[in-house]
Structure 1
Amino acid sequence: MVQVLIADNHPVVRHGIRSTLEQHPSFHIMGDVGTTSELFHTLGKKQPDVLVMEMDIPEINGIAALRKLKQDHPNVKVLIYSGQSEDVYALSTIRSGASGYLSKAADLSYLADAVLKVSEGGMFITNELAQRLAFDEGTQKPRRFFRKLSTREVEVLKMLASGKRNKEVAQGLNLNEKTVSTYKARLMKKLNVDNMVDLLQQAKALELY
């Protein structure tokens, strides 16, 4: 059973997320909070598997709260959702430690899939968002790399960039090691590199770590 904590300052939104996730047999909602002080107080007593957090939760800026959370509670996986510009904030949240980003404008059906994927160690972004991430933050400069990569390839690259071995990537994404090797070969071809050092340099250029 995946233990989920919800953090949003709007009671109606918290109720909506809770109601949606409670329909899924794999989730248990262990609680919800409305501010970052409540959030860190709760995390001091009990920790969820997945935190579903609104980026604009009051008191501490969402990115700053995310960085503090990942520093103090590194095992808690975080799914950020927001009504803010995806082009500006999605990559920043992932770079700051989030395991996924979901727009409030996304179809509601994505929510349970996102929480489940994040709980299993994967990274969640929609294919639509992957396309929008083809632009630099605030500049609309094309990110040619992201345009070339599928969502799954971005996941594999991010995990490799974080130091995961093929076996760990396979376990985290529910793949077999041969499939991970295939993804690595695709990544090298798409990013025009022929070794892991250069591949990780490309991941750094994409600000995946």
Structure 2
Amino acid sequence: MTKIVIADYHPIIRKGAEVLLNSVNEYSIVGRVSHGSELSKCLRKERPDILILELKIPEINGFQALRNMREEFPFTKIVIFSSHSEQIYALRSIKSGASGYIPKTASETVFLEAIKCIALGKVFLTKEIEATLKNKSVNKNSIQERYKKLSTREIEVLNLLSTGKRNKDIATLLEINEKTVSTYKTRLLKKLNVTNLAEMIHQARIFQFN
């Protein structure tokens, strides 16, 4: 059986995912965790085939944590199961080492299809995000060129801003001070050639990370 660890801060999400996976009798749930510190210990002990991960769990530092886990546990496939905007997070998750991205708005059928796909060694993206990648506006190339100038940290700050996080929240999550967050916001406005936060977030939502 495929061994799976579920990492999410909501008990009902962990339980629901486990019930779904057990319904097809192909998976063995070897770990259920809610914090980053628990996750590291669990991965070292269980060495699962698949990790179902919510990037927002406490003590997880976004995409950097994802990249670190890929380096430390290269044989564990990671699928992001998140309430974050799929438009913003899906492709960035793949680029950071994930094997798939499942939005929490997905149906039970899509969830199981995604896990099966990833268990087979494939990459999973929903049909919606695949369609989006094929139908971007004529501004795609210019926007893409702007994003190429962003650092990984700048992209992380932008992603958090787009979900409504305040400077103080971002500083805490990324373990930096508020002044540094303000500096990143100023850089983002300049690099993306926009004049306000609303325009910045709009560009983030239409940009395809490829």
Q: Calculate the TM-score normalised by the size of structure 1.
A: 0.64
Q: Per-residue deviation at 1:135?
A: 7.5
Structure-2 separation of matches of 1:85 and 1:140: 22
Matches within 5 A, 1:29-178: 29-134=29-134, 141-142=139-140
1:67–1:97 contact (8 Å) kept in structure 2: yes
The change in CA–CA distance for 1:22 and 1:141 in structure 2 (over 3 A counts) is farther
1:155 alignment counterpart? none
Structure-1 separation of matches of 2:75 and 2:138: 34
Query: SS state of the match for residue 121, structure 2?
Result: coil
Identity, in percent, stands at: 38
1:42 maps to amino acid: C
Query: What is the count of residue pairs matched by the alignment?
Result: 144
The change in CA–CA distance for 1:21 and 1:44 in structure 2 (over 3 A counts) is same
- Describe the superposition over 1:113-132 as per-residue Cα deviations: whole angstroms up to 9, x where unpaired: 11111111101111112123
2:7–2:33 contact (8 Å) kept in structure 1: yes
Q: Per-residue deviation at 1:68?
A: 0.8
- Describe the superposition over 1:152-180 as per-residue Cα deviations: whole angstroms up to 9, x where unpaired: xxxxxxxxxxxxxxxxxxxxxxxxxxxxx
Structure-1 separation of matches of 2:116 and 2:62: 22
Q: Per-residue deviation at 1:61?
A: 2.2
Q: Calculate the TM-score normalised by the size of structure 2.
A: 0.63
2:4–2:48 contact (8 Å) kept in structure 1: yes
2:113 maps to amino acid: D
1:36–1:59 contact (8 Å) kept in structure 2: yes
The change in CA–CA distance for 1:51 and 1:141 in structure 2 (over 3 A counts) is farther
- Describe the superposition over 1:52-110 as per-residue Cα deviations: whole angstroms up to 9, x where unpaired: 11121111223122111001011100110111111111110000000000111111211
1:21 alignment counterpart? 21
Structure-1 separation of matches of 2:48 and 2:125: 21
Q: Which runs of 4+ in 1 moved over 6 A?
A: none
1:135–1:141 contact (8 Å) kept in structure 2: no
Quote the RMSD (CA, aligned, Å).
Answer: 2.1
1:26 maps to amino acid: E
The change in CA–CA distance for 1:140 and 1:96 in structure 2 (over 3 A counts) is farther
Structure-2 separation of matches of 1:141 and 1:18: 42
* Structure with more relative contact order (C-alpha pairs < 8 Å, separation 6 or more): 2
1:163 alignment counterpart? none
Q: Per-residue deviation at 1:133?
A: 3.6
The change in CA–CA distance for 1:44 and 1:87 in structure 2 (over 3 A counts) is same
1:177 alignment counterpart? none
Query: SS state of the match for residue 25, structure 2?
Result: coil
1:87–1:133 contact (8 Å) kept in structure 2: no
